[in-house]
């Protein structure tokens, strides 16, 4: 089996509420350019569209996006609409609200609860849909998310949103949200070599409750918005990658998927070759000894 023939099915499946998805998905942020948001080189439109269509051909049925993923010339949501509409019945598109940017690309303050309906409607418009499969509330430093999450719960009751998730949270926010409405997914920063004292406990809590845990910047590591090219790989990661004849980025994705059956990966890229590698990582099986070495690296980081 070659990388070109491996599909997302190799990663297994998990249900976001009642929506089954392959555990290897696709993050749309980098479709708009070489770095996050309006930074870096603007992407080639035709290539971004081709990447999206190839992702679906490779079995990806979970795409993570947001209305605030745009550069000076590109919008991730509108690229998704152009490339994939009419959407396949099994395609799950997750988006997020909370942060927002004006048309010049400048960041505004966190959205007020009464503004969230407008943000959901903007995602609907850009994606060309009558409802959203999954909407995350991206916490913007609030001590309590109850009012914001309650506003999204009302939109769920109104039929604009099918399922709810929360992002960039602490453990207490998950408990707070669950008292208001069901949570099907938590999206937090989590990576092999990035310290986050909250992350391991959140991952465990989600597993106990049947909630998906979806790390962001899992491949980028320390590079974050700069992408994987901005990160430095530890000798342990490089050694395991060489043993498998794959890239360090693929090992990072494989390690992420090994953290539990409820853990989903959403590596993003605007490069067709990197897309193939990302999906192929779903088939990597790390040995117990390799996992112990990488887990020890993670423990040292934390």
Residue-wise pLDDT tens digits, 130-174:
999 999 999 999 999 999 999 999 999 999 999 999 999 999 999
Residue-level pLDDT at 268: 94
The SS3 of residue 213 is: strand
Residue 17 has pLDDT above 90, yes or no: yes
Distance CA 51, CA 175 (A): 37
Residue-level pLDDT at 41: 72
Write the DSSP string, 175-222: HHHHTTS---EEEEE--TT---TTHHHHHHHHHHHT-EEEEESTTTGG
Single pTM value for the model:
0.92
Phi, psi of 155 (to 5 degrees): -70, -30
* pLDDT band of 226, cuts 50, 70, 90: very low
Residue-level pLDDT at 1: 57
Residue-level pLDDT at 104: 67
| Catalytic one of 69, 136, 190, 216 | 69
* pLDDT band of 231, cuts 50, 70, 90: low
29-69 confidence digits (pLDDT tens): 999 875 555 555 778 899 999 999 999 999 999 999 999 99
Residue-level pLDDT at 36: 53
Higher-confidence position of 86 and 3: 86
Residue-level pLDDT at 232: 61
249-290 confidence digits (pLDDT tens): 999 999 999 999 999 999 999 999 999 999 999 999 999 999
Q: Is the peptide bond before 179 cis (omega within 30 degrees of 0)?
A: no
173-225 confidence digits (pLDDT tens): 999 999 999 999 999 999 998 877 788 999 999 999 999 999 998 886 454 55
CATH numbers and ranges of domains, the chain: 15-233+256-285 (3.20.20.100)
User: Rounded to whole angstroms, what are the CA distances from 70 to 41, 124, 227?
Assistant: 12, 16, 16
Enter the tokens of residue 74.
């590109």
279-290 confidence digits (pLDDT tens): 999 999 999 999
Q: Please confirm, yes or no, whether 136 is among the known catalytic residues.
A: no
Residue-level pLDDT at 230: 45
Q: How buried is 46 (Cβ within 10 angstroms: 0-12 exposed, 13-18 middle, 19+ buried)?
A: exposed
Q: Nearest-CA neighbor of 275 among 284, 288, 262, 266? A: 266
Enter the tokens of residue 228.
């994987």
Residue 229 has pLDDT above 50, yes or no: no
Tell me the mean pLDDT in the region 117-122: 97
Q: What share of the chain is helix, strand, coil (3-state, %, to 5)?
A: 45, 20, 40
The kind and range of the H/E element at 83 are helix 76-84
71-111 confidence digits (pLDDT tens): 878 899 999 999 999 999 999 999 999 987 776 667 777 89
Tell me the mean pLDDT in the region 215-241: 71
Enter the tokens of residue 231.
């990160």
Contact indicator for 33, 42 with CB cutoff of 8 Å: yes
User: Rounded to whole angstroms, what are the CA distances from 65 to 37, 106, 178?
Assistant: 12, 18, 23
């Amino acid at each position: 089996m070659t990388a070109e023939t491996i599909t997302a099915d190799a990663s297994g499946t998990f249900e976001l509420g009642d929506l089954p998805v392959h555990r290897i998905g696709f993050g749309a942020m980098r479709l708009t350019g070489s770095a996050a948001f309006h930074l870096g080189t603007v992407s080639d439109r035709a290539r971004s569209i081709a990447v999206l269509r190839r992702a679906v051909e490779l079995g990806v049925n979970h795409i993570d996006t947001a209305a605030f993923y745009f550069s000076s010339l590109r919008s991730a949501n509108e690229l998704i609409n152009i490339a994939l509409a009419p959407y396949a019945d099994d395609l799950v598109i997750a988006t997020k609200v909370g942060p927002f940017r004006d048309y010049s690309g400048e960041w505004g303050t966190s959205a007020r609860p009464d503004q969230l309906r407008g943000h959901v409607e903007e995602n609907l418009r850009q994606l060309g849909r009558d409802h959203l499969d999954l909407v995350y509330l991206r916490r913007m430093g609030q001590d309590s998310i109850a009012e914001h999450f309650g506003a999204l719960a009302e939109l769920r009751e109104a039929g604009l949103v099918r399922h709810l998730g929360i992002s960039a949270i602490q453990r207490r926010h998950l408990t707070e949200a669950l008292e208001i409405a069901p949570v099907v997914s938590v999206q937090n920063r989590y990576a092999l070599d990035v310290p986050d004292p909250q992350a391991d406990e959140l991952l465990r809590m989600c597993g106990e409750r049947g909630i998906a845990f979806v790390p962001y910047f899992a491949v980028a590591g320390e590079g974050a918005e700069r992408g994987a090219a901005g990160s430095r790989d530890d000798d342990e990661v490089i050694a395991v990658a060489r043993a498998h004849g794959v890239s360090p980025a693929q090992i990072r994705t494989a390690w992420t998927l090994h953290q539990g059956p409820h853990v989903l990966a959403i590596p993003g890229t605007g490069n067709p070759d990197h897309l193939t590698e990302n999906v192929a990582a779903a088939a990597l099986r790390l040995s117990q000894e390799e996992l112990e070495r990488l887990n020890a690296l993670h423990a040292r980081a934390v």
